[in-house]
Structure 1
Amino acid sequence: MKSLNLKRLIPAAAMALALVAGGAQAQRHPGMGGPGMMGGMMGGHVEHMLDLVDATDAQRTQIKTIMDTARKELKTQQDALRSLHEQGLALFSATNVDAAAIEALRVKGSALHEQVSKRMSQAMIDVARVLTPEQRAKLAAKMKQRQARMAEHMKSRGGQ
């Protein structure tokens, strides 16, 4: 198997990350579209990205499967992270702050974040392997343009 060029892998990885994270965000914020938002992510943002690179039907099917599988696998970790967050709030608001308990919670959270990061990275690699080098390069160029627009937008709003 050929080694993947990192300059081309990173944009595809960023797309996969956005897809997985976007799906997770939609699950956490039902007011932003509810359960249907997950389908909207595949129907909207992902489809748009795949349209930009002229993905074949076979590629679309493979990438949808990759992203759906990753989202399902990440749901458990996301639920656990949400629980840790709630526990942290309870510890913070307690009459007596238990530093050891807060540290233990932080360690658990770090381990969960590592699991999520690892799974998301694998999804990114899997997506990158489905796309051709030309598609990844085209996607990278589009993402670079989008990043520049976002930076300009943030600058105009007084952001960094």
Structure 2
Amino acid sequence: MNFYPLYETAPGAGTYQLGSVLIVAASTSAAVAVAAQSAPEGCRTGVWPYKAVAGLPDSVPPAEGESGQMYDVLAEPEGPTGTFSRSGQVFGSFGADASGMALSLERFFGYRLGLIPQGAKPAPAATPAPASSSGTTSAATPSGSGTTVSSGGSATPAG
């Protein structure tokens, strides 16, 4: 399944900004785990399920570990602004992954829906790297070809 990350705009803000990195993951919780790796300090993370082709999503049974996961629904009712906020709805992954329900109801409501795990915790503060033997420190920075794999998913820059 395809997802895009949703990051809280500021710690405790309750509004979420749509990210630009496509995440391919086996489940909603796996996509959240991948997105959380790049979460701003103190901010919570959700995901927006994405399907490029028109029509309803395929029914996808919950992946191992996904069944029973509960998500607060984030909505973007003002149109494609990139800013989502809680809608008051809750979806669960029981007979199918909750992302399929979000995709289906997007067509009914006419606006995008995202998912954030219930009780999501803010991203931890960055930990500084330990001092080297020469007495200098360096901050950890992401590196590589732009692809991150974790929790059964991967992220690749959109483009």
Same fold per superposition (TM over 0.5): no
Q: Which has the higher contact order (CA 8 A, sep 6+)?
A: 1
Q: Report the TM range for the smaller structure's normalisation.
A: under 0.3
Q: Under a length normalisation based on structure 2, what TM-score does the superposition of the two structures give? A: 0.25
Larger radius of gyration: 1
Higher strand share: 2
Higher helix share: 1
Q: Under a length normalisation based on structure 1, what TM-score does the superposition of the two structures give? A: 0.25
